[in-house]
């Protein structure tokens, strides 16, 4: 029996029966194919989380317009021809008992259409996207009905593809609906005017009603809202409370409450440790007071203990985990069996966002994220002796993986503690301590021979007779010898002598 009774209690959202209260958040990966269909890489990544025990997986952005991409390799349900491409993905997740829904959106000002054609992104008003630095044009009034229909047809396709529900992206003064909904971006003066509640909420109410009209009456439509946008000129929580019952009347089945508005670093959404744990919980509680449908909350809920506390408090009905699912896809399973101390806990470093600037989503502390189909922990058929030199994070992870694969492992560390540079990093940023403790616990619980306070001399290595040696001794300072400063001072030489103790 689970130690977390509330967390593993089943729940129903419309026709969707979810086995527990754990939801994987929609996180942009750029793992899709170039033709905007689900790739093997994306499917393997999501399947690892489904196999790890999560109840509901909300996929990343799935656009309603094929031309208006969010990223080069994001997904779309903008045409019937894309329906079949989602079937294999859904089947792989259902195999593990997880429910799955796409996040339906029109990127609006965040569309990258101008990178592929001479066309321009669209929005409620001309704004510059903080993500791309590109400007959008204002949608004409007569263009809006066709976009509402695109949303409806995307919902129909999601149901036809076999998804268990959909999530409508309407948060963070971002993408099309979020931009119309926020007075920060919506400067219109027509029927969708941003300075009036009725104007800025009109589009989302029309979209939800249009979606509900083309899907089954109990097909789940979850709406993601920023409870409070936390910017001058943005939406306040009292407006979200006023809007939520109207959305239920229009056809919404549940709410996913976050907070903040999008800036270039998405600092109020993918938040640092400064935001505090569960920092959107009060917003979800405020929405829950005014509706009688399930309410989910996201925002630095990192441990099963924190998640259980949110549910027991009654502030929300489900907890949504983003980065914790990147760090450890088995988060839910480990919580269910009462082994939460074995969870590789997110350190709130935001590398997952920064990595998007390099290629696609990656996790700083889980090298398997996004590489599930290529990095496989298969047991070796030929166990050999592996010696790892250095017990910093790289060395401990190498020793852990080698041991799990069935190799005999000796871990050698000159210092008298496991951790290397991560020991110092944990004193500077407390969240790093969680990763340090995870690795220390992992290598101590595995059949790894640990030799602390030991120099990896040639003689020692020869006596151990290893089949392979992994040098994980950390980074080295590489200094040039030929940078001459004023008065004949040679920068490289003097600093090298200082660092090596010869100066």
- What is the token pair recorded at 313? 């408090």
- Concatenate the DSSP letters of all residues of 102-170 into one string: EEEE--GGG--HHHHSS---EESS--B-TTT--B-EEPPGGGHHHHHHHHHHHHHHHHHHT-S-EEEE-
- Concatenate the DSSP letters of all residues of 431-479 into one string: THHHHHHHHHHHHHHTTEEEEES----HHHHHHH--SEEEE--------
* φ, ψ of residue 416 in degrees (nearest 5): -100, 10
The three state secondary structure string of 343-402 is: CCCCCCCCHHHHHHHCCCCCCCCCCCCCCCCCCCCCCCCCCCEEEEECCCHHHHHHHHHH
Burial of 214 (0-12, 13-18, 19+ CB in 10 A): middle
CA-CA-CA-CA dihedral for 56, 172, 212, 164, to nearest 10: -10
Q: How far apart are CA 69 and CA 67, in angstroms?
A: 6
490 CA to centre of own chain: 47
Please, which residues have CB within 8 angstroms of residue 53's CB and are 6 or more apart in sequence?
Answer: 20, 22, 96, 330, 331, 332, 333, 335, 336
Please, which residues have CB within 8 angstroms of residue 131's CB and are 6 or more apart in sequence?
Answer: 110, 262, 264
Given 31, 45, 163, 174, which residue is catalytic? 174
CA-CA-CA-CA dihedral for 392, 394, 397, 400, to nearest 10: -70
218-244 b/e with 16+ CB inside 10 Å = b?
ebbbbbbbbbbbbbeebbebebbbebb
Catalytic residue check, 174: yes
Question: Are residues 228 and 283 in contact, defined by beta-carbon separation less than 8 angstroms?
Answer: yes
Burial of 464 (0-12, 13-18, 19+ CB in 10 A): middle
Residues catalogued as catalytic: 174
């Amino acid at each position: 029996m689970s130690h977390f009774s509330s967390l593993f209690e089943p729940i129903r959202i419309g026709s969707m029966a979810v086995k527990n209260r754990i939801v994987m958040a929609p996180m942009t990966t750029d793992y899709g194919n170039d033709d905007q269909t689900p790739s093997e890489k994306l499917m393997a990544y999501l399947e690892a989380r489904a196999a790890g025990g999560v109840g509901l997986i909300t996929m990343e952005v799935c656009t309603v317009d094929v031309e208006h991409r969010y990223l080069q390799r994001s997904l779309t349900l903008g045409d019937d021809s894309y329906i079949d491409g989602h079937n294999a993905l859904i089947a792989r997740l259902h195999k593990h008992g997880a429910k799955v829904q796409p996040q339906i959106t029109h990127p609006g000002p965040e569309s990258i259409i101008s990178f592929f054609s001479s066309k321009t992104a669209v929005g409620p008003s001309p704004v510059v996207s903080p993500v791309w630095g590109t400007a959008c044009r204002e949608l004409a009034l007569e263009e809006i009905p066709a976009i509402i229909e695109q949303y409806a047809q995307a919902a129909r396709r999601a149901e036809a593809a076999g998804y268990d529900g959909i999530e409508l992206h309407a948060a963070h003064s971002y993408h099309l609906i979020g931009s119309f909904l926020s007075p920060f971006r919506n400067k219109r003066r027509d029927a969708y005017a941003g300075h009036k509640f009725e104007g800025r909420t009109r589009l989302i109410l029309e979209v939800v009603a249009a979606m509900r009209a083309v899907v089954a009456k109990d097909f789940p439509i979850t709406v993601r809202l920023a409870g409070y946008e936390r910017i001058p000129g943005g939406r306040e929580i009292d407006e979200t409370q006023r809007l939520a019952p109207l959305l239920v009347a229009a056809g919404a089945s549940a709410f996913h409450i976050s907070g903040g508005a999008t800036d270039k670093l998405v600092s109020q959404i993918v938040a640092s440790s400064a935001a505090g744990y569960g920092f959107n919980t009060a917003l979800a509680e405020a929405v829950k007071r005014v509706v009688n449908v399930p309410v989910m909350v996201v925002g630095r809920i990192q441990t099963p203990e924190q998640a259980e506390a949110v549910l027991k408090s009654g502030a929300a009905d489900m907890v949504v985990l983003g980065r914790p699912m990147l760090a450890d896809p088995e988060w839910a399973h480990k919580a269910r069996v009462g082994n939460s101390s074995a969870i590789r806990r997110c350190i709130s470093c935001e590398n997952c966002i920064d990595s998007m600037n390099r290629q696609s989503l990656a996790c700083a502390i889980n090298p398997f994220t996004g590489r599930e189909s290529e990095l496989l922990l298969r047991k070796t058929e030929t166990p050999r002796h592996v010696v790892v030199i250095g017990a910093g994070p790289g060395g401990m992870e190498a020793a852990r993986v080698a041991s799990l694969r069935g190799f005999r492992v000796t871990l050698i560390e000159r210092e008298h503690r496991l951790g290397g540079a991560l020991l110092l990093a944990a004193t500077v940023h407390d969240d790093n301590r969680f990763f340090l403790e995870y690795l220390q616990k992992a290598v101590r619980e595995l059949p790894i021979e640990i030799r602390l306070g030991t120099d990896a001399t040639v003689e020692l290595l020869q006596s151990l007779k290893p089949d392979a040696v992994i040098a994980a001794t950390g980074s080295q300072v590489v200094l040039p010898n030929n940078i001459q400063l004023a008065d004949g001072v040679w920068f490289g030489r003097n600093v090298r002598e200082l660092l090596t103790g010869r100066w």
